[in-house]
Amino acid sequence: MGERKVLNKYYPPDFDPAKLPRARRPKNQQIKVRMMLPMSIRCNTCGNYIYKGTKFNSRKEDVIGETYLGIQIFRFYFKCTKCSAELTMKTDPQNSDYVVESGATRNFEPWRAEDEEADGLKRKRESEEMGDAMKSLENRTLDSKREMDILAALDEMKSMKSRHATVTVDEMLAALQRTSDDKEKRLEEEDEALIKSVVFHNSNDYVRRVRDEDIEEEEEVAQLSNGHVGTSSSSPKRQKPSKEPPGKATDALTKVSLDESGKQGNSHGGSAKPNPLVRISVIKKPVASDPKGAAEPEQKKTVDSNANSTGGLQSLCQSYGSDGDDSDQ
**Along the chain (329 residues), what's the average pLDDT of each consecutive run of 10 residues?**
75 92 79 92 92 92 90 93 92 90 88 83 86 86 93 91 75 88 91 79 60 79 69 45 50 54 51 54 57 49 50 57 51
- Say what the pLDDT of residue 238 is: 46
- Please enumerate, by residue number, every residue annotated as part of a binding site for Zn(2+): 43, 46, 80, 83
Q: Are 103 and 87 in contact (CB under 8 A)?
A: yes
Burial class (CB in 10 A: 0-12, 13-18, 19+), 40: middle
Give whole-number Cα distances, 247 to 53, 99, 244, 260, 298, in Å: 106, 120, 9, 21, 35
Angle, CA 36 vertex, CA 94 and CA 29 arms, to 5°:
70
pTM for this structure? 0.36
Instruction: Give the Cβ contact number of residue 135 at 10 Å.
Output: 13
Known binding positions? 43, 46, 80, 83
48, 41 Cβ separation under 8 angstroms? no
Query: What is the gyration radius of the CA atoms in the chain, in angstroms?
Result: 66
For the chain, how far is it from start to end, CA to CA, in angstroms?
156
User: Which ranges constitute the DSSP H helices of the chain?
Assistant: 110-131, 133-164, 169-197, 212-225, 229-234, 249-267, 291-307, 311-328
* In contact, 103 and 43? CB cutoff 8 Å: yes
Q: Check residue 264 and give its pLDDT.
A: 53
